[in-house]
Structures are given as C-alpha cells and as structure tokens.
Amino acid sequence: MATKYLRALFAAGLAVSILYTPALQAERIKDIAAVAGVRTNQLIGYGLVVGLTNTGDKTTRFTSQTLRNMMMQLGMTLSKDVPVAGIDLKSKNIALVSVQAELPAFSKPGQMIDVTVASMGDAKSLRGGSLVMTPLKGADGQVYAIAQGNLVVGGLSAQGQDGSKVTVNVPSAGRIPNGATVEREVPTGFAQGSNLVLQLQTPDFTTANRLAEEVNRAFGPGLARPIDAASIQVSMPRDPAQRVSFTSMVENLEISPGDAPAKVVVNSRTGTVVISSHVRVQPAAVSHGNLTVTITERPEVSQPGPFSNGQTAIVPRSDVNVKEDGNRMFVFRPGVSLDEVVKAVNQVGAAPSDLVAILEALKSAGALRAELIVI
C-alpha cells in the first residue's frame, strides 16, 4: 500500500515539476545540498617511477628496498641460486613516489580515474618518468584501483657545472590523466532503505525548513521533514529506476536559501575586511584621527674661537613636529545599513588597519550587531 502511495506521489510530482516555474534569485537543491552517503573516497599507494635521466633518488634507502621487493615478486634472480635480495641496488634513474587519487561515487570496475604522483625521496625531477604498476588502497586497507602510466610534469629544473640552478614550478610532482583503473566498487546506501537524506553544505535551520516545504509542495505533504539544521529526510520509491528519477527531480527543485548570519571577517595579515549585508550598527559616535610625528635631524657645525685651542665639532639638532588630522566625529543612527557604514568610514579616510580598530571598538561597545571574526 505504501509503495502504491509513493508511486502516485511520484507521478503527481512529475506533473507539478513540469508546470512549476522557479522563483527569482533561487538556487537548485543540488547546488546547496548533497545526498548522504554519496561522496568521493581517497586512495593512496606508493610505488616507483622509472626512466628518469639521472634525476632520481640518490641517498634514499627505501628506493632500493622497494626495487628489490618488486624484482623478487617478478621472480627475477641474478643467478640460479642467488636472489636479488642480497644485492644493494643503486640507480639514479628511479624514484620512490606516493600515488594519490580520488575515487568518485558509483565508480565501477574498469573505469579510469586521474592520479597524482609526488616524490618521497630526494629526486630532483620526475620529468620523463613512468610509474610502475602501483596498487591504490582505501582507508580500510583494500585495493580499489591500480595505477600505471607516463607522468605529465609541469615543472623543470636545470643546473650548471658552477652550481647555478634554475627551477620552474615543481618538477618533483606530476599527474597521470586516466592513470588508474578501478578494480573494486565502494558500496553505498543509496539503493537501500526507503528514505533519502539530503545534507546541506552550510547548515541553516531556515534553509532546511524551506527545502522540506518545497519538496512537500512539489510532491505531496508529509514526504519530507527536516531532521536538524543540516539534514532533511525524504521518503522515496523502492524501485531503483524510480528512485533515480525521483532524486533527479528533487535536486533540480529551486529554493531561496536562508540569509547567512551577520558577520564581519577581518584578515589581520592582509588588512582585508568583509562585511555581510545584514550587519547593523546601534547608535554610536565614532571619532577617528591620525597622529603624525615627524623628526628631522639638522646637525650644526660648532667652530672654536680664535686662539682658544678648541676643535671643530658637530652639534646634533633635532626638530620634532607633531601633526594631528582634524577629522570630524560621525554618528551612527539606529539600524545603520552596510552602505552607510562604509560611507561613514570612507569619509574619515580610514585605512584597512584603521577600519579594523573601529570595528573592534564598536564590538567592544556593544554597538556592532554582528559576529566579528579575526583570522
């Protein structure tokens, strides 16, 4: 009975979504929320890059150990009874590297993904190298992809015999487009259960409530309900084909997200100040003036009198001048908007550092109705 009810809602929602005209200045649900459990997974491995032109590892012992292990696994021996493990292999044409990749959601075995390769030893450059077959593992220790291929390195390094050296970008890292083949699929809970959970990228109670109301308006009452400020639970069909179509219609609905809280973000290192549109200032009077102190050194030469057996000496003389700009005091009226705050501060010629001091003083006085964040 519940399945028939959801199918009816699904058909009605399809008709409503076709006739529905989105509101102005709205955003798609897929741009502000994601389906719970549908995410990428990080993969990592380590391997060898071969074929370098004398720019590989020189003193890293792990490189030769990895090379010995690889040759032993391939069954290579120097003679009939002496394995490679007893020989200290050294080569400047190989480098020990870390291999990283991101496994997208719903990746199937046989698909190709990009990999990033970075040197782990003292290799000067990976340009012209080729990555040997490297397994990539997930956080659970299972192998999910196999990487291999020629590197694309955007940097270069050149050195002369006199010790001069030129380096452009980073030659010790590169990428292999489509360099890994997916070998294992990561299970997701999308095809299981009867509910779909949408997670907001920026938690907000107003946005969560509006999202649930829009889904209920488009597909029927009681279909969606907000769980908290970041999660909205939506009932969905059990049939996989209908589940995909239903999710597609839900994520293409458009809503108007709730306004962000009033914040003032100050970067103390660069002097950058960002003020959100909902910042308000209570009645307050602000006076800003610059005090300039100028010190000028004017040394004078003192000549001794005749027949005084004195010596010529330089007498220091300093002129100190203090100047204070006559900037007037300005008053913030109740509920001053962002535009008026900026105009008032610009009228007194405040620099970014001075603006930070004014905002901090307003916050300390309780006149700034916003969260002041200093990074």
Name the fold adopted by 2-38+189-255: Aspartate Aminotransferase, domain 1 (3.90.1150)
Contacts of 262 (CB under 8 A, 6+ apart): 276, 278, 279, 280, 369, 370, 371
Domains of the chain by residue range = 2-38+189-255, 41-182, 263-290+323-374
Alpha carbons 149 and 158: distance in angstroms, whole number: 24
> What pLDDT shows up at residue 370?
80
> What pLDDT shows up at residue 323?
54
> What pLDDT shows up at residue 356?
72
Alpha carbons 191 and 259: distance in angstroms, whole number: 34
How do residues 323-333 score in pLDDT, each as one tens digit? Answer: 555 555 555 56
How do residues 265-307 score in pLDDT, each as one tens digit? Answer: 877 677 677 777 777 777 776 666 654 445 455 667 677 767 6
How do residues 111-151 score in pLDDT, each as one tens digit? Answer: 999 999 998 888 888 888 899 999 999 988 899 999 999 98
Alpha carbons 337 and 192: distance in angstroms, whole number: 50
